Structure formats: C-alpha cells, structure tokens
Structure 1
Amino acid sequence: METAFTPYASLGGGVLIGLASVLLMATLGRIFGATGILAGLIDPTDPEDRKWRALILLGMITGPLVILTFTGDMPAVQVPISTPLLIVGGFIVGLGVTFGGGCTSGHGVCGMARVSPRSIIATITFMIFTAITVYIIRHVIGA
C-alpha cells in the first residue's frame, strides 16, 4: 500500500478545520469535536443545540459533493480492508473516544489550541498509538 503525499490538499483541509473550529468557538462558544457534535445530536442535553450540530454534520457529509461540483470528480477513497474490520475499527475508535473524553478533532485541534494538559496528553497518546498501528499493519502484518 502506497501513501499519497498531498501537501496542498492536506494544508487546505487543515486550514478549513481550523477555521471551522475558530468560528464555532467565536459564534457559539463550543468546541469542534466531531464525536461530541454527533453525540449531542443523538442525545442532546440542550435541544437548541440540535440545529447547529445537524448543520455541521450535514456539511461533513456533503463535502464530497462540493468537490464534485468544482472538480467534476468525486474524491478517491480507497479502503484496503474488509467491512468487518471497519466495524471492529469503528468499535475500537468509539471506545477510545469514550475513555479519552473526546476525539482527535476535539483534543488535537481545539484542546491543543487552548493548551489543555488533558488534550496534550490525549494527542500524544493518539500519535503514539497511530505510529504503533501503522508499523504493525505495514511491517508485521504486511498489509
């Protein structure tokens, strides 16, 4: 498996995520954590939150259609594993989000920007386990 190096697309995506995070904090005083946004939509503590949460998730879902509109092509997504492994991975990520008190966007983008010690530790943990996982998958399993 070859990993494509896409510095401009990655930079653009990072800028958009950062901008969205700043705008959400500036306008609603909320942290842009994707799993927290989804959880708050499914089981809201404040019913007034549903609208902005639904709009953000709608934007995440329809993003590829925006790319299609401007480029004429859908973004290429290749998933080199089976559906059962995707389900297992999703379950593991869900456990991590639950025990870690948030996801990579909440801790890595917003928490780090607020210099939250908890988020700094969580982000370091994400990065260590990401490196271990990539090493195991590419060099031990050989996928």
Structure 2
Amino acid sequence: MTAFTPIASLAGGALIGLAAVLLMALHGRILGVTGILTGALLPAGPGDRGWRVALLAGVVSAPLAWRLATGGWPVIDVPVPGAALAFGGLLVGVGVTLGGGCTSGHGICGNARLSPRSLVATLTFMASCFVTVFVVRHLLGA
C-alpha cells in the first residue's frame, strides 16, 4: 500500500524547487544531482569541486538535521532487498549516462527552462517507471 502524504510531498517539492532556483541564481548551475556527484568525483577544473561537495554534504546530512529538529530519525521503509536496490541503482546510473542527465536535471530544471530535450527525457523516465511498476507488481507478482 502506498501512503498519501500531500503536505510532506508539497513541502519537499517546494524545497527542491527553491534549491534549483538558488543554485541557478547564485552559481548559474543546473541542479542535476547525478551530474553534481560526477563533478565532485571527477572535477572539470579548479574551483568546480567545492560547491558540489557542499551541496552533496547538505543532501546527505538532511536526516541528521531532521533528527536535531524532531528528536527522531526520519522513517524510511524500503520493502526490497539490498541487492535489488544495488541493481536498481546500477540501472539508474546506466540510464542517466545514456539519457545525458538525471530526473532532477531534466525533470525539474530542464522542463522549467522549456527544454524540448528535457521534456522527451522526462516522458521517457516516466514511461519506463510505469512499465517497470506494472511488470513488477502485476506480471511478477511482487
């Protein structure tokens, strides 16, 4: 069963949108998390790594901020084995490489800039998700 969380979802979406706008306004950069991670590991030039590492540190430390604010860790329920997560992550990495960007880069920033390439990429991501969920839930019975 999937939980319906409109307030938390709206707040999360607003924060992601704000982060994307601020990164573009302050640094002229697109908030594509996979590209940011790649640039942190393999910097393109001098001065390109610091902001990427800082942004990733903020993403990773968010659960700690939640704990400090609420006194408890965020509840994360992942009903699949670790091997399935690793395999899914590998598939996402291949898809991001083939698609020339990730869901945050294309779906949030690219579509906001009215990029036709990002619209096609986002529709492809979504169609792939729909097919995957259908196959896993209805054909494989998981």
Q: In structure 2, what is the equivalent of residue 106 of structure 1?
A: 105
Equivalent runs, 1:16-27 vs 2, <5 Å: 16-27=15-26
Runs of 5+ in structure 1 lacking a partner? none
- Give, in whole Å, the separation in 2 of the partners of 1:11 and 1:49: 31
User: Which residue of 2 is the match for residue 134 of structure 1?
Assistant: 133
- The corresponding residue for 1:81 is 80
Query: TM-score, normalization: structure 2?
Result: 0.96
Please tell me whether residue 72 in structure 1 is matched to residue 71 in structure 2.
yes
The alignment covers a number of residue pairs equal to 142
In 2, distance between residues paired with 1:74 and 1:136?
Answer: 33
Give the TM-score normalised by the residue count of structure 1.
Answer: 0.96
Q: Does 1:96 align with 2:95?
A: yes
CA RMSD, 1 decimal = 0.9
Q: 1:17 Cα deviation (Å)?
A: 0.5
Shift of 1:47: 2.5
CA distance in structure 1 between the aligned counterparts of 2:138 and 2:66, rounded to whole angstroms: 34
SS in 2 for 1:102: coil
User: What is the CA–CA distance in structure 1 between the aligned matches of 2:125 and 2:46, rounded to whole Å?
Assistant: 32
Q: Specify the alignment match of 1:35 in structure 2.
A: 34
Quote the Cα distance in structure 2 between the aligned partners of 1:45 and 1:17.
Answer: 25
Q: Distance in 2 between matches of 1:74 and 1:135?
A: 32
Alpha-carbon distance, 1:36 to partner:
0.4
Corresponding residue number in structure 2 for 1:12 = 11
**What stretches of structure 1 move > 4 A for 4+ residues in a row?**
none
Question: Structure 2: which amino acid aligns with 1:33?
Answer: G
1:86 Cα offset (Å) = 1.4
Percent sequence identity is 56
CA distance in 1, matches of 2:133, 2:4: 16
